[in-house]
């Protein structure tokens, strides 16, 4: 048994590297979809404005995708360096899922990303559009497999424990384990929502700066339409995902609710300071019956409490409780932004309202915060298990790895990732500030066909 410090350090290291990594796919999954939309619109209408939007956002996509690739490679090796026992025990289940992700998604993305970024004057417009579409499909397939793998650790089924490791009996049961469909929908929607708010925020910034107004108006409008649909959809999906968690991982729900005693008429705590030692909350500010109403849709519904299990089987309550509130709070701010957008559009003020634009700029990074908070809820809420109810985190780590090695590499990760993130933000802001290239003088978006002629192909480099 390794000393405790190696375990805590390995957990911190994994939490840090995986949290850092997920920021980038969150943006690229959603952005890939928007790029498909922009390029499709350009192909169909021939309007230059869609090409300008594509060429602007594809630069941000490329920058972000590169960060995702390099931080992702680390993870595929970190499973083994720090979590050798986990690898040995769950490898027969999770290995093939990750293998399928590499085969069906990573190669597809990598193969066609080159064409997408550098193939403008090498392939025709339709092939280029196909490349963009395949990259977008690749990002979605990637999310499919990795979320299936993660969900299996939350709600394992389809495998039995034999001779010290898992053996799969039923692959369909493994892949489509109970929490997977909701987690997949909730996370892909989170990606699209995060991206939508980023596009809205960047467009609003250019509206406020009065920079290439025609283009900014168009992308702001597209993003606000998307937000109108995605913000309420995500709240619905989150609710359904929560009900699924209640069924399969009741202690995670108990921690999210900060509910210590199993009870009916359970209140929803808007504010509380959970105290795991005393097994109670301090300074509660609550809505009576709220928790029972949300989870059971009835005031007399019984909500599970943390005291159903021994303290050593409880997740760290404070982190789960507060991360959940951050995520939900941001979700409702997005709903507010979306509703404001609808109202402003109805009044014909969508791109004129300065306060709406300011709010959008302010919200632009919030999707990342919400996504991270959501992952904190689900991952910390799974503790003290790596495979829920079956394999303890303490029994998952590499037996021979010393605290000193993990500490050294953790510090290196902090420094290196910190520096890289700084560079990424610097170059990102540089791209954002410059914005899309201006439309050609003679070409206005209203009557492109009259001026440009039949089909201005993508092959012609617009520079």
Partner 1 sequence: METLAIISGGIIGAAILMYVVLDGFDLGVGILFPFAPDEKARDTMINSVAPVWDGNETWLVLGGGGLLVFFPTAYSIALPAFYLPIMAMLFALIFRGVTFEFRHQAHTSAHLWNRSFFWGSLVAAFAQGVLLGALVQGVHVEGLRYAGGMFDWLSPFSILTGIGVVAGYGLLGATWVIYKTEGEIQDWARRAAIVLGGGTMIAMAAVSVMTPLMRPMIAERWFGGINLVYFAPVPLLTGALAVWLFYSILSKRELAPFLSAVGLFVLGFLGLAISLYPNIIPPSVPVWDVVAPRSSVIFALIGVAVVLPMVLIYTVYAYSVFHGKASAKGGYAHHEHE
Nearer to partner 1, 163 or 210 (CB): 163
142 contacts 25 by C-beta, under 8 angstroms: yes
138 contacts 109 by C-beta, under 8 angstroms: yes
CB of 399 to partner 1, least distance (A): 6
4: phi then psi, degrees, rounded to nearest 5: -60, -35
Nearer to partner 1, 81 or 276 (CB): 81
Strand, coil or helix: 397: coil
Question: Nearest CA to 50 among 352, 460, 377, 445?
Answer: 445
Element (H or E) spanning 336, and its range? Answer: helix 317-346
Nearer to partner 1, 39 or 101 (CB): 101
Nearer to partner 1, 152 or 268 (CB): 152
Question: Nearest CA to 41 among 50, 32, 31?
Answer: 50
CB of 245 to partner 1, least distance (A): 27
Say how many C-beta atoms besides its own lie within 10 A of residue 366's C-beta: 21
21 contacts 75 by C-beta, under 8 angstroms: yes
Nearer to partner 1, 3 or 95 (CB): 95
23 contacts 417 by C-beta, under 8 angstroms: no
CB of 154 to partner 1, least distance (A): 19
| Burial (0-12, 13-18, 19+ Cβ within 10 Å), 445 | middle
CB of 136 to partner 1, least distance (A): 15
CB of 81 to partner 1, least distance (A): 5
What is the spatial distance between Cα 213 and Cα 253, in angstroms, rounded to a whole number?
Answer: 46
Nearer to partner 1, 94 or 254 (CB): 94
Nearer to partner 1, 390 or 420 (CB): 420
Nearer to partner 1, 113 or 254 (CB): 113
Nearer to partner 1, 2 or 318 (CB): 2
CB of 306 to partner 1, least distance (A): 33
Say how many C-beta atoms besides its own lie within 10 A of residue 116's C-beta: 26
Say how many C-beta atoms besides its own lie within 10 A of residue 455's C-beta: 10
CB of 150 to partner 1, least distance (A): 15
CB of 30 to partner 1, least distance (A): 19
CB of 365 to partner 1, least distance (A): 20
| Burial (0-12, 13-18, 19+ Cβ within 10 Å), 251 | buried
Q: CA–CA distance from 29 to each of 25, 94, 194, 226 (Å)?
A: 6, 22, 10, 15
| Burial (0-12, 13-18, 19+ Cβ within 10 Å), 86 | buried
């Amino acid at each position: 048994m390794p000393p405790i410090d190696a375990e805590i350090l390995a957990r911190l290291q994994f939490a840090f590297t995986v949290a850092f990594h997920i920021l980038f796919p969150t943006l690229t999954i959603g952005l890939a979809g928007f790029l498909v939309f922009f390029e499709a619109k350009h192909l169909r209408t021939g309007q230059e404005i869609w090409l300008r939007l594509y060429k602007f956002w594809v630069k941000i996509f490329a920058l972000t995708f590169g960060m995702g690739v390099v931080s992702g490679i680390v993870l595929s090796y970190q499973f083994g360096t720090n979590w050798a026992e986990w690898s040995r025990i769950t490898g027969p289940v999770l290995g093939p899922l990750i293998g399928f992700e590499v085969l069906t998604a990573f190669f597809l993305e990598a193969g066609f990303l080159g064409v997408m970024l550098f193939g403008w004057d090498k392939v025709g417009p339709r092939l280029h559009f196909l490349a963009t579409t395949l990259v977008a499909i690749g990002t979605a397939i990637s999310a499919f497999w990795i979320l299936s793998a993660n969900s299996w650790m939350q709600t394992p089924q389809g495998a039995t424990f034999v001779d010290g490791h898992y053996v799969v009996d039923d692959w369909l049961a493994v892949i489509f384990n109970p929490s997977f469909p909701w987690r997949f929908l909730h996370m892909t929607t989170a990606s699209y929502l995060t991206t939508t708010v980023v596009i809205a925020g960047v467009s609003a910034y250019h509206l406020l700066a009065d920079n290439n107004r025609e283009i900014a108006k168009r992308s702001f409008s597209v993003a606000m339409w998307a937000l109108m649909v995605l913000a309420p959809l995500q709240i619905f999906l989150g609710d359904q995902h929560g009900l699924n968690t209640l069924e399969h991982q009741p202690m995670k729900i108990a921690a999210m609710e900060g509910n210590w005693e199993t009870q009916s008429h359970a209140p929803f705590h808007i504010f509380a300071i959970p105290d795991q030692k005393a097994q109670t909350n301090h300074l509660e500010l609550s809505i009576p019956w709220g928790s029972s109403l949300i989870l059971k849709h009835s005031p007399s519904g019984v909500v599970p409490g943390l005291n159903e299990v021994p303290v050593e089987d409880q997740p760290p309550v404070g982190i789960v409780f507060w991360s959940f509130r951050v995520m939900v709070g941001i979700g409702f701010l997005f709903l507010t932004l979306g509703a404001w957008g609808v109202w402003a559009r109805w009044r014909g003020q969508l791109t004129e309202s300065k306060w709406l634009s300011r709010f959008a700029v302010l919200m632009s990074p919030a999707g990342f915060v919400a996504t991270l908070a959501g992952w904190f809820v689900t991952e910390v809420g799974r503790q003290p298990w790596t495979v829920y109810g079956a394999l303890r985190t303490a029994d998952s780590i590499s037996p021979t790895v010393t605290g000193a090695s993990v500490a050294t590499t953790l510090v290196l990760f902090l420094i290196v990732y910190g520096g890289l993130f700084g560079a990424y933000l610097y170059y990102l802001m540089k791209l954002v500030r410059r914005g899309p290239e201006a439309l050609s003088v003679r070409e206005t978006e209203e009557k492109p066909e009259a001026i440009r002629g039949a089909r201005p192909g993508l092959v012609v480099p617009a520079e």
